[in-house]
Amino acid sequence: MEVIADLHVHSRFAMACSTRISLESMEAAALEKGLNLIGTGDFTHPEWLKEIKSSLEPIDETGLFRLKGSRSGVMFVLSAEVATIFGHKRVHNCALMPSIESVDALNDELATHGDLKSDGRPALTMGAAEFVEAAVRTSGDAFVFPAHAWTPWFGVFGSFSGFDSMKDAYEDQEGHIRALETGLSSDPVMNWRVSSLDKYALVSNSDMHSVEKIGREANVLSIDGKVTYRSVIGAICNDGNKAFKRTIEFYPEEGKYHYDGHRQCNYSVNPETSKATKCPVCGKRLVIGVLHRVNDLADRPPGFVKPGAVPYVHMVPLREVIAYATKKTTYSQVVASTYRSLVPVLGNEFDVLENVAIEAIEARSNSAIARAIRNVRDNMIHIAPGYDGVFGKLELLEQKPESAPAKPAGQRGMSDFVH
Ligand SMILES: [Zn+2]
Ligand SMILES: [Zn+2]
């Protein structure tokens, strides 16, 4: 069975998250998008965990859950993200757990390191290694991976508080780390440049703060037999079985921390062409982005393709494509109603972006929207890279670019990996 999974999401109890997030609205959004496995997010938060316990039911003995009585096929896995803080080192870590009992036991221990009620993504005074140790002691099936590994403040390799290696971050617990989340501002080809990361599965998740963003990055698995907590993690981590089919990625330039820059001064710079560390406008330190950090740690040239690596595909979320074509904002009425005219009428969002015939899309919307979707499929886009918390800006091109200057060599278009 094909499983399309988004394992890192947040509830309305996490800082800066939409109040409309509920397990029900997440299920509905997952169905629209084309996902059938999603994290619950925020299992550390007492109020949210109460909802998880009252609204979800276990699916047999699988370690996975569904909304009570739901036949939608959307499965949930118990998930959370915590910030571990030790001195000036701050790391965001995602954790998946196989049972409510193991979550309760882990939360009891984590509550001695910080206030779990204060934020769905709690800040815990403990090292990243100590957190891993607590999770795996609670359950041998605990699955912990660094979240958005390269982002400046909280990524394990981030420029401000990160480390230069997994060993430095996770110390004697490093062996329990089997995956890392590439985050929106990096994609697999960037990570392949760092040979010490070869042994980790590269996972991609939305880190959504509103349900519309669920699945903007995701993992496509092919699982023989029963879909269980263990078979999902086995599919992600065991590269011998080729069950990890591909990841769905943001264009990394669209992410908020791709380039170096300083938001207040509207200044951004490609770290490959500039070694500047200070803002030329105000003289303050630049926020060193993801591409810069990858370059720092890389021991392979840009564009290096790791043999046997899990393929990936870049996708632009459909609402953004419609917003561009209609010249409206992503959350405007026009975009919402156009989205509704395509999804689920013609299929889920992944179908519309990748597979549905352009003529059918045009018949349900208009030629500008059909052309925009075709452009994205053909990789006819340009993105002004994001920096210092500013998302990259998408532009759809009328012709195939002679060269795509902002993109790292070796980047692939959607069509390369369509089944
Ligand atoms: Zn985070
Ligand atoms: Zn500045």
* Cα gap 404→249, rounded to integer Å: 18
Q: Is the pLDDT of residue 417 over 80?
A: no
Are 86 and 227 within one domain? yes
pLDDT-derived band at 272 (thresholds 50, 70, 90) equals confident
Are 326 and 204 within one domain? no
Within a domain: 346: yes
Distance 393 CA to ligand 2 centre (A): 20
Q: Which ligand places an atom closest to the C-alpha of 266?
A: 2
Residue with tokens 């607590």: 134
What are the φ and ψ backbone dihedral angles of 130, each rounded to 5 degrees?
Answer: -65, -35
Are 222 and 341 within one domain? no
3-class secondary structure, 417: helix
pLDDT-derived band at 401 (thresholds 50, 70, 90) equals low
Q: Which ligand places an atom closest to the C-alpha of 387?
A: 2
Contact of 18 with 211, CB cutoff 8 Å: yes
Domain termination site, one of 209, 228, 253 = 253
Within a domain: 387: yes
* Cα gap 191→7, rounded to integer Å: 19
Distance 327 CA to ligand 2 centre (A): 30
Distance 285 CA to ligand 2 centre (A): 8
Residues 6 or more apart in contact with residue 198 via CB below 8 angstroms:
192, 306
Domain termination site, one of 234, 253, 272 = 253
Distance 282 CA to ligand 2 centre (A): 4
Within a domain: 95: yes
Are 60 and 161 within one domain? yes
User: Which tokens belong to 330?
Assistant: 């992503």
Distance 280 CA to ligand 2 centre (A): 7
3-class secondary structure, 181: strand
Distance 147 CA to ligand 1 centre (A): 6
Looking from the CA of 332 toward its CB, the CA atoms found within 13 Å total 14
Question: Quick one: pLDDT at residue 29?
Answer: 97
Over residues 195-231, the pLDDT tens digits come to 999 999 999 999 999 999 999 999 999 999 999 999 9
Q: Which ligand places an atom closest to the C-alpha of 205?
A: 1
Distance 5 CA to ligand 1 centre (A): 18
Question: Quick one: pLDDT at residue 266?
Answer: 96
User: Which tokens belong to 394?
Assistant: 């998408």
Are 81 and 165 within one domain? yes
CATH number at residue 75: 3.20.20.140
Distance 260 CA to ligand 2 centre (A): 11
What is residue 62's DSSP assignment? S
* Cα gap 407→79, rounded to integer Å: 33
Q: Is the pLDDT of residue 416 over 60?
A: no
Q: Which ligand places an atom closest to the C-alpha of 257?
A: 1
Are 249 and 340 within one domain? no
Alpha-helical runs (H) found in 56-206: 100-110, 128-138, 166-170, 188-191
- Which contiguous run of DSSP H or E holds residue 57? strand 56-58
Q: Which ligand places an atom closest to the C-alpha of 94?
A: 1
Domain termination site, one of 253, 277, 308 = 253
Are 154 and 231 within one domain? yes
* Cα gap 248→316, rounded to integer Å: 10
Distance 358 CA to ligand 1 centre (A): 37
Q: Is the pLDDT of residue 240 over 90?
A: no
Q: Which domain holds residue 67?
A: 2-253
Are 49 and 183 within one domain? yes
Are 183 and 52 within one domain? yes
3-class secondary structure, 15: coil
pLDDT-derived band at 256 (thresholds 50, 70, 90) equals very high
Distance 155 CA to ligand 1 centre (A): 8
Distance 10 CA to ligand 1 centre (A): 10
User: Which tokens belong to 310?
Assistant: 């899990």
Are 240 and 358 within one domain? no
Q: Is the pLDDT of residue 54 over 50?
A: yes
Are 328 and 216 within one domain? no
Over residues 151-170, the pLDDT tens digits come to 999 999 999 988 999 999 99
- Domain count of the chain? 2
Within a domain: 311: no
Residues 6 or more apart in contact with residue 211 via CB below 8 angstroms:
18, 20, 21, 25, 26, 28, 29
Q: Which residue has the higher pLDDT, 379 or 275?
A: 379
Distance 102 CA to ligand 1 centre (A): 22
Contact of 386 with 259, CB cutoff 8 Å: yes
Within a domain: 279: no
Q: What is the mean pLDDT of residues 380-389?
A: 93
Residue positions counted in the chain: 419
Q: Which ligand places an atom closest to the C-alpha of 93?
A: 1
| Cα-based distances in Å from 201 to 142, 169, 181, 182, 258 | 16, 17, 8, 10, 21
| Cα-based distances in Å from 348 to 116, 258, 342, 352, 353 | 36, 29, 8, 6, 9
Q: Is the pLDDT of residue 335 over 70?
A: yes
Distance 122 CA to ligand 2 centre (A): 31
Distance 399 CA to ligand 1 centre (A): 37
Are 248 and 338 within one domain? no
Within a domain: 55: yes
Share above pLDDT 90 across residues of the chain, in percent, rounded to a whole number: 89
Within a domain: 54: yes
What are the φ and ψ backbone dihedral angles of 250, each rounded to 5 degrees?
Answer: -65, 150
Q: What is the mean pLDDT of residues 118-123?
A: 96
Pairing of strands 244-249, 56-58: unpaired
pLDDT-derived band at 403 (thresholds 50, 70, 90) equals low
Share above pLDDT 70 across residues of the chain, in percent, rounded to a whole number: 95
Q: Which ligand places an atom closest to the C-alpha of 150?
A: 1
Within a domain: 307: no
Distance 363 CA to ligand 1 centre (A): 40
Question: Quick one: pLDDT at residue 398?
Answer: 75
